[in-house]
Amino acid sequence: MVTEVNLCGVRLANPVIPASGTFGFGLEMAGEYDLNILGGISLKGTTLEARFGNECPRIAETPDGMLNSVGLQNPGIEALLSEKIPQLRKIYGGVVIANISGFGLEEYVKSCTAADKCRDIDILEVNVSCPNVHGGGMAFGTSATAAAEITAAVKAVCTKPVFVKLSPNVTDIVSIAKACEEAGADGLTLVNTLLGMRIDINRRVPILANRYGGFSGRAIFPVALRMVNQVSRACSIPIMGCGGVSSASDVIEMMMAGATAVQVGAENLKNPYACKEILEELPSLMQKLGIEDINEIIGVA
């Protein structure tokens, strides 16, 4: 039974990847189970400089999901490269995906240039879609022209595969995906969180200090699945599908929609062993469905 997949020449033992922002830098789970069972790890989103993030409260529960307005709290690119990744590589030999965010073209270029030089990073995931930071990624991710500009600039300084992570907060995700592909993107990750809100009806104020936040969790799976399918039919580059994935059957469904690999996000926050349990379930599900090679189902729907 074959579970190995290929992302632009980078081989993953299986398609299951903890999504950025839901698994820290991998180190937080190192004592809980062997991380080497994972196909890859998408590290916590990193910016050029360290960030404290948004004011609290910045997490709110919703039915079958959650809102977050963390605001890209991270130690900065230098700490990622000099501290976090070397520590991770002591315990993990799989695919490392660096998730890079920025507040301007120059920041993206500087961070990606530095990350591309790190031998322990396999794939760059350029986040143009974070809806939580004022003046940040969302402006790039909602414009085909701006997304293409970031893509081209990053590709000009990188030798490693570049995946652009797209926002679902748009009316036509296909046009943005195609613009990124034409600008040189090696692959795409979709989708990031939807923009949402909750209100404390007793206090009559928004629950999140930032008012709005990124909506993720099981409730958004059908939206993510639809967008993955639309983009896979329009583009020829590989896709990492993400959004509401919580089970092995979701992984299969996402791959049938057109994803080559599948990221598990908010489910990790609900259940830190989610990826482990999905991987334990996957072989028996493949056998039940008569799938000998998981690659044969990519895009069959």
Active site residues: 130
DSSP 8-state symbol, 216: E
Is residue 188 a contact partner of residue 164, using CB atoms and an 8 Å limit?
yes
Please state, in angstroms and rounded to a whole number, the distance separating the CA atoms of residues 1 and 239: 22
Beta bridge partners of 165: 127, 189
Please state, in angstroms and rounded to a whole number, the distance separating the CA atoms of residues 182 and 166: 15
Token reading at 232 = 């896979």
| CA-CA-CA-CA torsion sign (8, 10, 14, 15) | negative
Please state, in angstroms and rounded to a whole number, the distance separating the CA atoms of residues 51 and 29: 22
| Residue 135, phi-psi category: left (phi > 0), alpha (psi -120 to 50), beta (remainder) | left
DSSP 8-state symbol, 46: B
Q: How far is CA 43 from the centre of its chain?
A: 9
